Chain A
Amino acid sequence: MMETLSTSVLSTHGLVARYGDFQALYGVDVTVNEGEAVALIGANGAGKSTFLRAIMGLLPVAPDMVRLGGQPIGGTPTDRMVQKGVAIVPEGRRLFSGMSVEDNLRVAVDQAERLGRKGGWSLSRLHQLFPILKEKARTPVQSLSGGQQQMVSIGRALLCQPKVLLCDEISLGLAPKVIREIYAALPEIRGQGTAVVLVEQDVGLAQSATDRLYCMLEGRVTLSGRSGEVTREQIGAAYFGGSHAVV
């Protein structure tokens, strides 16, 4: 399971995070290689979202616990993480309410320019990926459907020109058809050389969309392996814990 260090773009090393007195992560080691898609699965409360928030500098962590291209960057302020090439599609989409679709996306274009981040994503490229965003450019984001809002949120993260894209439950609450539409964009995103970390509740979807997966339970990694090779039994045991019988 050892990955060579030279190709790792993002890695965590004994990542520990807490909310006040409550410890949410107990030494998580995850490696994401260049251009790779990695899934993070696990039950509610396993620490998946906390893991992404800790990487993004939204929780206090020690510098050595998170490395980007080998450099220690743990605890870097969130806006600086974006500057370094990590973007997130946050849980609940978190669009800028009251602003149009175009303005939501332009905020990301503006900041990428300001931070000097260059990459393959532009508004027109994004409109090819999700044509509805062009049609709805002037619509306030709060009047979009859930799937359309998710597309804006993904688009906003892509326009930050990330090397690593963190996606937190992008299928949550969406119709199967919409989920397929959104997941269909993944190959194109990875085609840019962008590595993708997918936090996903749907294990089957996670397995089919990624190269490798990690399963988390109670703040620890309980399983890791190639997405196509891990068995349902292995996942079941890792998902619910060794002491829980999986029928």
Chain B
Amino acid sequence: MQWFDALVQGVLLGGMYAQYALGMALMFGVMRIVNVSHGDLVILLSLIGISLATSFGLGPFWVMAALVPLAVAMGWILQKVILNRVVGDDPLPSLIATFGLSLALQNLMLQIWSANSRSLPGGGIESRSVEVAGIYVGLLPVIVLVFATALTLCLDLMLKRTRFGRALRAAAADVEAAAMTGINPRAVYASATAIAVGILGFAAVFQSLRSTVAPADGGAQLVYAFEAVIIGGMGSVWGAFIGSMVLGISQAIGFRIDPGFGVLAGHLVFLLVLATRPQGLFGKS
């Protein structure tokens, strides 16, 4: 029962990781842009959300309603102002540019919010739980998982079925050939990054509801998102979702073995996948 409980908690934790990983799957997995500031953007949005909640007394739903459009705008600006200048076959320029952005964001956040940990008041939702077959399941993690699943479904359908999705996949496959087919790659990329960062608006609300956030926390989110995308396989949205689950379950089982071993267990499983199946679980060689 203890291990079944770990499995369930792991899946729920995976729901949180999936919310970081989806944007990464779109930017890194599809567009091959390395965004090192991914985690810092989650933290920045979380801190903005917490400030909104405390200044205007907004509940989590209203914070989300404010943060998601803000995140979309931030993503669009990020692509227009920084990433469109460095986009190309070489991933190194985007990595260096966003590494710089990451450092700047962390220091900006320290300046505005100090190094203190904060969290978003959830009005009790964060501590509610239900008992199902002898296992206590937190209500908030279930909501997180439902959102993660819905976001994955929408993103996957968008990529496969819409004009925008086809244009994005085409641009990701061959930017120049895409332009020769009438696509404006910069406009498509700006929209895609807006969506990728927009999803972080959801992640930021849930992250700051379920635990505390501080300006230096972005690194962990970045690493989990990277690991989930690579475990799942580049270019696959459902792969990133499953990768998040694998990471969550590995950590939850690790925590059961030893409370200090949880995060490391996730990294070890990631390394194991990288060593034995480098294209990821759903990736095509």
Contact = CB atoms under 8 A, between A and B. Distances in A.
B183 interface: yes
A110 B166 contact: yes
B174 A82 contact: no
Nearest to B175: A78
Contact of B180 (A88, A104, A106, A110): A88
A108 interface: yes
A79 B179 contact: yes
A111 B181 contact: yes
Interface centre among A58, A107, A111 (most CB of B within 10 A): A107
A103 B167 CA distance: 10
A90 B180 contact: yes
A99 B180 contact: no
Contact of A103 (B169, B178, B235, B284): B169
A107 B180 contact: no
B82 interface: no
B189 to A, nearest CB: 13
Interface in B175-225: 176-185
Contact of B183 (A97, A107, A117, A157): A107
A115 B179 CA distance: 13
A64 B23 CA distance: 43
Contacts of B170: 96, 99, 104, 107
Contact of A112 (B180, B182, B184): B182
Interface in A66-110: 77-79, 82-83, 87-88, 90, 94-99, 103-104, 106-108, 110
A245 B279 CA distance: 56
A149 to B, nearest CB: 12
Contact of A79 (B166, B173, B174, B184): B184
Contact of A115 (B176, B182, B284): B182
Contacts of A104: 170
A48 interface: no
Interface centre among B169, B177, B284 (most CB of A within 10 A): B177
A220 interface: no
A156 interface: yes
Interface in B117-170: 163, 166-167, 169-170
Contacts of B167: 107, 110-111
A237 B166 CA distance: 48
Contacts of A107: 166-167, 170, 178, 181, 183
Interface string A38-61: 000000000000000000101000
A10 B141 CA distance: 62
Contacts of B173: 96-99
A93 B52 CA distance: 52
A229 B66 CA distance: 71
A244 interface: no
A81 to B, nearest CB: 8
Interface string B93-127: 00000000000000000000000000000000000
A121 to B, nearest CB: 13
B181 A103 contact: no
B166 A97 contact: no
A97 B174 contact: yes
Contacts of A111: 167, 181-183
B104 to A, nearest CB: 31
A95 B184 CA distance: 17
Given A106-B166, A110-B163, A96 B179 contact: no
Contacts of B284: 98
10 contacts: A78-B180, A79-B179, A94-B176, A96-B178, A106-B166, A107-B166, A107-B181, A111-B182, A157-B180, A160-B181
Interface of A: 56, 58, 77-79, 82-83, 87-88, 90, 94-99, 103-104, 106-108, 110-115, 117, 156-157, 160
Interface of B: 163, 166-167, 169-170, 173-174, 176-185, 235, 284
Given A77-B184, A156-B181, 12 more contacts: A79-B182, A82-B180, A82-B181, A94-B177, A94-B180, A95-B174, A96-B173, A96-B177, A98-B235, A107-B178, A110-B167, A111-B167
